[in-house]
Each structure stands twice: as C-alpha cells, then as structure tokens.
Structure 1
C-alpha cells in the first residue's frame, strides 16, 4: 500500500519575501481542476452536506472557483440543486417560471418555494406579460387574494 504524506494548515507557513511582481494584476491564480476544467481561483468548496448545495456552488462559480454538491441527496434533489446552480448563471432565463393572474397569492408563494426562486412572471392566457410578482410583493398580502 502506498501511503502518502498529507499536510494540514498547521504544516504550511507562508513567509513574506521580496518579489519582482509590481502589481497583483500581474499574477494569475488560474489552475486546472481536470484536463477540461480550469478555475480562475484555486478554491473548491467541500462536498459536505453542511457546506455545498446550490447556494454555495453559485457563489463559488461567480468568484471563479467551483462548488462540488454533496452526495447525500436523492437523485431528484441533486438534479434540482444542479438546475438551480446552472439557472443562476444565465444572463437571460430562457424558460422563466410563470403563473396566471387567476392564481392565489398562496399558490404563488408555494410555487416560488417549490422552484427556489424569489420572483415569477404573471402572464394572461395569451402568454402576454401582465406583471412580475416578487417575494416582497407577497410578503404582507392576503394569501387568499388573486395575483392580478
């Protein structure tokens, strides 16, 4: 068995020294995670259930690192976490979540929670945009009222 030496944070010490680099912008932190995946910063969040789900994966991706979603999810939950992560990176959402004006505020809240979003498009039967409903709009609204 080949046992390798492992290092912890206490085993490593960075000593300040003189450098010819005159600006931080001259350095590159880019590193390869695999043959096909490059990271802009050499940071990977732990694939632990208390650390990385979609929220952490989104933040890591925006900062240039990567978040590995943990394995203690059902397949359906894992797919949902990945979809949330991928969806957040889109500048334009191709298939936004939509509700009709005849639905109740309570139905809208449940749909937002189910999809993990804070806003919905409100469209009439002809798919014409009637408005945008956000979590702030429904915060103090009567849950039995229609979205209209």
Structure 2
C-alpha cells in the first residue's frame, strides 16, 4: 500500500475509530490484544482498556488464576482503583507482602473494621524492615492522606 500525501476533505476531529466488537461492546480504538500467554495477562488487558481497546486474557492457567487476572483488571477501571485490596493495622508485613505479590501491587490502604482509611503501606515502607512479623500499624504512612472521591475528574486528581 502506498499512501500519497495530498489535500483531503476529511476533518480528523470528525472521524470515529469506534468499532462494534459485540452487540453490547463498542471499542473506542479498534485494538484487541491476543489471548496468548505471552501477550495478554492482567497488565496488558488493563493497558488496552485504558486506551479504549480490549485485552483477551489467555486460558493457559488455572481457573483460580484466571479469576485473579479478571479481578485485577476490574479493580483498575479507568486508572482508578474503585474497590482496592486492603489490609488491617494488625496484619503482619509477611501477610501484606503476600497480598502485594498475589495481586501484583506495590501497596495497600490500611483500614479499620468499618472500612475507614487509617493510612497506607507501600513496598517502600516495607523495604528495609527485616522483621516480617511487625504489624502494619508500626510502619504505615498514617492519615491524613491525599484522597479523591469516586468519579473524580482525572484532571482534578
């Protein structure tokens, strides 16, 4: 295919690249990542969703791992985690470290029994603590934290 530059009557802002993938799913960008284990897992599916495409998770894993991958994708809608994995102040660093590895995340909000935010613990907080039996409350960054409400405009965030 040879594209020859020239004048055009097409106005780029009036062009739609939307594609109807299924009866109920329209993509803003006509990109679909392959359901291959070397191509699409949660990270790729999340990246594809953020640009308006879709990532098809592969099936070369256990049902439990497939469910975990889907859960990771759903939790990261639109770049904002709407239902984050959390921990409690009395959880140990070993428990939090295991959750971070399982969900492939670098930190967790720390909440009380009522779900109120008490602080955050990240891999930076845990990095130099050798005693993995230490409670999260001992090393977390406590509230007040900068937070945003559900539905906040990305520019405001």
Relative to the length of structure 2, the TM-score reads: 0.74
Alpha-carbon shift at residue 124 of structure 1 (Å): 4.2
Relative to the length of structure 1, the TM-score reads: 0.78
Of the structure 1 ranges 60-69 and 115-124, higher mean CA displacement relative to structure 2 is found in: 115-124
Q: What RMSD over aligned residues (CA atoms) do the two structures have, in Å? A: 2.1
Please give the alpha-carbon distance, in whole angstroms, between the structure 1 residues aligned to 2:121 and 2:85: 11
Please, which of 84, 91, 96 is the counterpart of residue 72 of structure 2?
Answer: 84
Please give the alpha-carbon distance, in whole angstroms, between the structure 1 residues aligned to 2:31 and 2:86: 36
Structure number with greater Rg is 1
Alpha-carbon shift at residue 105 of structure 1 (Å): 1.7
Please give the alpha-carbon distance, in whole angstroms, between the structure 1 residues aligned to 2:5 and 2:20: 26
Poorly superposed stretches of 4+, deviation over 6 Å = none
Structure 1 partner of 2:26: 38
Please give the alpha-carbon distance, in whole angstroms, between the structure 2 residues aligned to 1:97 and 1:135: 15
The residue correspondences of 1:1-80 to structure 2 (distance < 5 A) are 13-18=1-6, 19-22=8-11, 24-80=12-68
Structure 2 unaligned spans of 5+: 138-157
Distance verdict in 2 for CA 1:82–1:51, change over 3 Å: same
Cα deviation code 1:82-112 (max 9, x no counterpart):
1111110064624x32323233222211121
Aligned residues: 134
| Residue 123 in structure 1 maps to residue 111 in structure 2 | yes
Maintained 8 Å contact 1:122/1:129: yes
Structure 1 unaligned spans of 5+: 1-12
